[in-house]
Amino acid sequence: MSDLQRTHTCGQLRKADAGSEVTLSGWVDTRRDHGGVIFIDLRDRYGKTQVVFNPEYNSEAHQQASSLRSEYVIAVKGKVAERPEGMVNPDLDTGEIELFVDELEILNTCETTPFEITADTDVSTELRLKYRFLDLRRPIMQKYLAFRHKICQVARQYFDENNFIEVETPFLTKSTPEGARDYLVPSRINRGQFYALPQSPQLFKQILMVSGLDRYFQIVKCFRDEDLRAQRQPEFTQLDLEMSFVREDDIITIVEGLMVDIFNKIMGKEISAPFPRLSYHDAMKLYGCDSPDLRFGMTIEDITDIAKKTEFKVFQKVAESGGQVRGINATGCAILSRKEIDELTTFVNQFGAKGLAWFKVDDGGLTSQISKFFTAEAQSEIKERFNAVPGDLLLFVADKESVVSQSLSQLRLNIGKTNGLINEEEFNFSWVVDFPLLELNEDLNRYDSLHHPFTSPHQDDLQILEERPLDVRARAYDIVLNGVELGGGSIRIHRPDIQKRIFKLLKIDEITAQKRFGFLLEALKYGAPPHGGIALGLDRMVTILLGLDDIREVIAFPKTQKATCLMVDAPSDVDEKQLKELGLSLRKPD
């Protein structure tokens, strides 16, 4: 145990502390030698303080300090002094003072680090993840984690003030394979049987409503064994909540209040609620996706009706065969060269589009290689539909609906970013509501739930549930921030007869339903109240609010895109004894 016990942090001392005797502990951030005097910036989580080893002040401490190197852990005792005039450092909260050292204790040395412990470390992500214990020493990373902590604290306080109870739900639970694959955990006691790590607390929180808890929340880890993309992790954190005796508006209002609270208390910004709402139909029609970025315009317009009347065979053929011809107005982009437009064509190719038709708008009308196939009347209609003026560039995709929507949605974002149409300082919330309850899985010739099988159908659509299932609306809602789905929820099915009808539509027979969800069906028989909820992605939220691109920056110990932890080398082999205890044996892959 050190003889020198910390009295202050490295971010705490101010001009008013001059003359005080204090003890600081931390890491050597930088070392400078000037005229025989050694200056050290001592760093801890709270900040930095300049400490001075002057041989005229204390020769013994100065001699000891000659051995100090970056990232040594030290404790220093000395007297706080005001910095000389002209030597104040405005970049540090402690920049008006320095500490003259009387006593130094080296608590630990440090080998040469694989990268510098600075904010702008320019090394590979893999190296940072392997040495995450060093990466997390960087002040910027500690700032990110502290920001995340504050959001959790504000959320907990907000939910408590609104009569929610925080309840922990099990991590070792039952596998109910719907959607992504489960992470399975073999049971030693019950040989041949497995637990699953939960993809969400969905069923448990519904059962808590049946139990009469009325309002529940949890900041909870969830697990999905899926192919990872840039913003996905195999384990992730949700702000999860559920409420009884509510409708959609009640849950939406609670979530909006939470966001207003977070922005006010943490971001220092005022945002207004209620947030705008779009139906799923309008979101797909105007933006080509169900998570639109509303920070800029450039909505998608449909000209399929005009395309049928033109002589341009590509448009005509698609329009007459049930496809769509839709486009966007890239305002002011008529200056783009043919090469740049060809690059946009290559861009939409990756989303299935076979090509990209275009018109440049000038004083004479629409100019393009395909202009000759469009009458003056058709060109006038197109200009009017897009509110096009000279200098604009109209871009079109003709194909089946799914290809057109995805291509134009991504093209809109691409042009918005590259042409500076998006205000990166803006935070734009919206809700997307009235999703379809089901979608057709053509590969398996069945219906799938667009959200999950426990989402309630719209009351007015129950009568067409079996006859026109694809027309049934779900009582579901997603919250979107800057074009990213921040969370999704729904009013749940609370009647067992309706739940059974949904299972039947999904081709989940009674035996399978009983095996997977029997406990829920049983609970619904015993006076389940109307209820609903939502889950918000905490990792995504923190990433967006900090203006970052990589979700791994806000998770203390994230996985790679191969779902590995480079620091602890997980997953890893286990020995034969452990496998034998579990009744497992491994076979080599074919």
Residue 393 forms beta bridges with which residues?
A: 330, 360
Q: Is 233 annotated as a binding residue?
A: yes
Give me the pLDDT at residue 364, please: 83
Give me the pLDDT at residue 230, please: 64
Spatial separation of the C-alpha atoms in residues 208 and 175, rounded to whole Å: 19
The contacts of residue 402 (CB under 8 Å, 6+ apart) are 352
Strands (E), 245-348: 277-279, 301-302, 324-330
Q: Is 576 annotated as a binding residue?
A: no
Tokens 């639109």, residue located: 292
Residue 21 forms beta bridges with which residues?
A: 79
Burial of 147 (0-12, 13-18, 19+ CB in 10 A): middle
Give me Rg for the CA atoms of the chain.
Answer: 30
Sign of CA dihedral 561, 566, 570, 572: positive
Give me the pLDDT at residue 66, please: 96
User: Does residue 200 contact residue 180 with C-beta atoms inside 8 Å?
Assistant: no
Burial of 192 (0-12, 13-18, 19+ CB in 10 A): exposed
Among candidate residues 447, 472, 470, the one with its CA nearest the CA of residue 462: 472
CATH number belonging to domain 142-278+428-555: 3.30.930.10
Q: Is 538 annotated as a binding residue?
A: yes
Among candidate residues 219, 259, 255, the one with its CA nearest the CA of residue 236: 219
CATH number belonging to domain 15-108: 2.40.50.140
Does the predicted TM-score (pTM) go above 0.85? Answer: yes
Q: Is 539 annotated as a binding residue?
A: yes
Crossing angle of helices 139-161/538-545, nearest 10°? 120
Spatial separation of the C-alpha atoms in residues 367 and 391, rounded to whole Å: 11
Q: Is 533 annotated as a binding residue?
A: no
Give me the pLDDT at residue 444, please: 84
Chain center to CA of 458: 29
Give me the pLDDT at residue 289, please: 98
Give me the pLDDT at residue 587, please: 87
Query: Could you tell me the residue ranges of all domains in the chain?
Result: 15-108, 142-278+428-555, 296-418
Residue 437 forms beta bridges with which residues?
A: none
For 235, the 3-state DSSP assignment is strand
Spatial separation of the C-alpha atoms in residues 194 and 582, rounded to whole Å: 10
What is the amino acid identity at position 445?
N
Sign of CA dihedral 39, 41, 42, 47: positive
Spatial separation of the C-alpha atoms in residues 116 and 43, rounded to whole Å: 14
Regions of the chain with pLDDT less than 50: none
**What CATH class is the domain 296-418?**
alpha beta
> If you ran DSSP here, which 8-state letter would residue 112 be given?
P
Q: Is 320 annotated as a binding residue?
A: no
What is the amino acid identity at position 495?
R
The two three-digit tokens of residue 428, written as one number: 């734009």
Q: Is 475 annotated as a binding residue?
A: no
Q: Is 178 annotated as a binding residue?
A: yes
Among candidate residues 534, 510, 518, 500, the one with its CA nearest the CA of residue 202: 534
Give me the pLDDT at residue 539, please: 98
Spatial separation of the C-alpha atoms in residues 223 and 171, rounded to whole Å: 9
Give me the pLDDT at residue 588, please: 82
